[in-house]
Structure 1
C-alpha cells in the first residue's frame, strides 16, 4: 500500500455527528484521519499510542475540558498542532486556547472551506518548521 502523502489528523469531539462530518471533510489526498475520540479520557488513551500531525479538539466534553486536554497534548505530543473546533465563542476561552498553543480556532457551525483553509494554513506552518530543522 502506498505511503499517504498527507498529514495525519486526530479528531476529539463529544458529538458523533461532528466527528463524522469532520472526517468526511478532512479525509482525502492531503490529510488522513487516523483516529477519533468522543471523550477526554478516550482521547488520552488513544493518543498514548497514536500520534498525529494535527489534532482537532473540542472545548466542551462530558468528562473534561478541552483547554486542559490541550495542555496534556502539548506535553505528550509537542510536535502536534492543535486546531480548536468548538461552539465556545467566549473571548477568554479563545484567548486561553491560543495562548496555550492552539494553532487555530474554528467556531461551530463550520463550513468545509473554513476547516480546509485552516488545516492548510497549519500544514504550511508544520512543513516550514520541519524544513527549518532539516
Structure 2
C-alpha cells in the first residue's frame, strides 16, 4: 500500500508541485490544506503517514500546526517546507519536532530523499 501524505501550503501552486513530485514517486496524497488550522483538522481526519508543512501561512502558521499535530500524535512525521532565509524558523520547527525540512523552490530528488529518510 502506498504511504499517505498530507500536503500543507497556502499557495495552490506549491501544493500542486509537491503533489506532482509525490504521486510520480508512488506516494498517495490523501489530503491538502491551505493553512495550519486546516492541516490539524485534515490530520485528525486522515491520519497520514507523513505531513509536508509550509512554515509561513495565514490563520495558523506551520510551527503552531506542527505542535498541535504532535500533541495529537507524538509519533507524527512532519517535514517543514521553507523559503530561503527562514533558518531561524526552521530551527524552531526542528525543536518542535519536525523530522526534516525542504527548501523552496522544491527539487524533486531532495523532496523524495527527505520523505524516504523520514518514513524509514
Common topology (TM > 0.5): yes
Whether 1:14 aligns to 2:10 is yes
Deviations 1:28-85 (A, max 9, x none): 5642111110122222222222111110000111112111111001011323200001
- The answer as to whether partners of 2:77 and 2:98 remain within 8 angstroms in 1 is yes
- Aligned match of 1:25: 21
Query: Equivalent of 2:67, from 68, 71, 89?
Result: 71
- Aligned match of 1:113: 109
**TM-score, structure 2 length as denominator?**
0.91
- The answer as to whether partners of 2:36 and 2:64 remain within 8 angstroms in 1 is no
Partner SS state of residue 4, structure 2: strand
- The answer as to whether partners of 1:14 and 1:62 remain within 8 angstroms in 2 is yes
Task: Give the greater-gyration-radius structure (CA).
Answer: 1
State the Cα distance separating 1:6 from its structure 2 match.
2.5
RMSD over aligned Cα atoms: 1.5
May I ask how many residue pairs the two structures share in their alignment? 120
Query: Equivalent of 1:41, from 26, 37, 58?
Result: 37
Q: Mind listing any 5+ residue stretches in structure 1 that lack a counterpart?
A: 125-134
Of structures 1 and 2, the one with the larger relative CO (CA 8 A, separation 6+) is: 2
Q: Mind listing any 5+ residue stretches in structure 2 that lack a counterpart?
A: none
**TM-score, structure 1 length as denominator?**
0.82
In 2: Cα distance, 1:97 partner to 1:44 partner? 16
Deviations 1:6-26 (A, max 9, x none): 311101100001101111100
